[in-house]
Structure 1
Amino acid sequence: PALPPEARGFVDARGHRGLRSLVVLTLIAAAVAYWGSDYYFRSHTDVPVDERVVIVLLIWGAAALAMAMVNRFLRLKLLSPLAERVVFVMIPPLALIFLVLGTIFIGVATPTEGGAMGAIGALIMAVSRGRFSMKQLRQAMESTARLSCFVVFILVGSTIFSLSFRGINGDIWVEQLLLHVPGGEIGFLIVVSLMTFFLAFFLDFFELAFIIVPLLGPVADKMGIDLIWFGVLLAVNMQTSFVHPPFGFALFYLRSVAPKEDYRDRVTGKLIAKVTTAQIYWGSIPFIIIQILMVAAVLAFPGMVTHYKSDAPTVDPASVTFGQDSAYGQDGYGAGDAGAAFQ
């Protein structure tokens, strides 16, 4: 449920909303991001466009946060309370997202290292807000260890199932069944997409990735389907498992933070209704529709994924020659770069 109308508009003691201050802060931070990124890209000219966008946004957020912190600690009173609140509420979570995903996106960290950086960032945020305690740290570590054990057992169980299924030639049966689906390649892709979407109601991403994908990959390879594009198609489809009722992980996350009982709003003092599980389920439907549209877009426009092939270097087989190195050892075998050398 939305906040009551009285709590949606922020007004300071002077009766001002502070939107002008927020707009000015945004423009100044954008100017700093523009000039800072321009100076950085002068010495790094080979940065791709997508990474440039991430770096510009990083500089923009850092500039806004730095100005808000200087204004608060030096008591300059140049920013309105609304502008300060927006910066201190939005920028730290965005910085945490950058530590996890942004560092992976620009190639600074691997997925495992990105998770570690996100954990460090969360600890820093907890300490800076005065909410860090050994009890919470222990609870977080126990929850992480428990979840990791669950994932490992899921992987072990899926591996045992796959081996048993292959032992009775079940993979061959599935392969022949999918190879003879009416419609050829298009029919196969539609059936696979519908099957993955349906199974996501009951299985999460891990089971789908370790049980279903090994059965579908060989069939796609025999049909001549680009495996990278096929993997992206399955990944986008399997993302729906996070928001699928009734076992979606994201739904449980929302259930854990949403109020289970009616509560009184601290700003207006009014009683706010609780958030029910049915409301969370209904709220996930628009996101499921977005995922379905994304799957349809990947199916209809494969170039969204396979654009990397247009930049691949082409080799004319007629121009390839083979030469033999003249350096041989005493035993008669090549000791240096003997073998076929591409020229």
Structure 2
Amino acid sequence: MTYIIGEIGQNHNGSVDLCKLLVDVASRPVKDKLFNQNLQSINAIKLTKRDLSQELSSSQMNAIYNSPNSFGKTYGEHRAFLELNNEQHYEVYKYTKAKELDFIETFCAIGCLSMLKLFSPDKLKVASRDLTNLPLLHALAETKIPIILSTGMSGKKELDIAIEIVSKQHSNISILHCVSEYPTKYQNVNLKTISYLKKMYPKYTIGYSDHTIGISIPVSAVVLGAEIIEKHITLDRDMKGTDQKGSLAIDGIYRMVRDIRNVELALGKEEMQIVKAVKTTKNKLERSIASNKDIKKGSVLTEKDIHLLSPGDGVKWINKSLILGKKAKKDIPENEIIYLQDIE
């Protein structure tokens, strides 16, 4: 089953209560109403933790930030406003676990690992920009917590180095195809990278972190074999914040999870089969040999006497030799199925 991650990221806008509401949305039941079938909901939510002392240059921190999405006069103030402290992350962690969801953290600096004194996330995520942050990779790997590597800004060389570092500590590694363009243009997605990663790294779980608008691309990624799907979620795409418009809101979250789960059911096996559900339809609609005229008892049946009609519970054309040249045991009206019990 596809492991679906609802990425809250900074869409909590600095509010624990808003964060909990997003956890509520992620954990709500998913049902296919047409077939009255309960489906598995989102598996995990993800938060991001930054250590601003290890985040930006002084000039970046002090730069005036006049964006409509700004929560501060400078970019540093903006970033500080969006940060939840360790205790707040722990509060959301406990709330998430009570909802029976996994909790994933993206640590953006070594200093963020102080949070591990409070709790241990189910997985750690390495952001695309930090795949080349080798000191951070070493520190994360040493925790022995399962790691998800995102490839949005890197090629194979950078990924191989990251895998080499982490694998010295453990092999519980997942790799997400990703494009760090917000939102990602469809011509830049290159979903076939998923197939490439599955061939090149068969030891690891391969998935997809999506930044496109809508749900068609993550659903398609599952068809191509993605075992993890990560998608930004929000309560309202019109909320203030740089990631809100590229995220899925409540209805979109529901539809994406529903469609992914239905695709999982639909993929099936590499074989041709007539499923049980088709047998009734086959019996009703397929063709059987029938009379094309009134046939008298004792008449010898020829091909001129027959054609094909529904239902499909009689003799098929390929088996017409079972009927041709035989005598009718009774009168057979025009346009009726000729069953084996009707002939000698």
With the shorter chain as reference, the TM-score category is: under 0.3
Structure having the higher strand fraction is: 2
Task: Decide which structure has the larger Cα Rg and report it.
Answer: 2
Q: Which has the higher contact order (CA 8 A, sep 6+)?
A: 2
Structure having the higher helix fraction is: 1
Normalising by structure 2, report the TM-score.
0.19
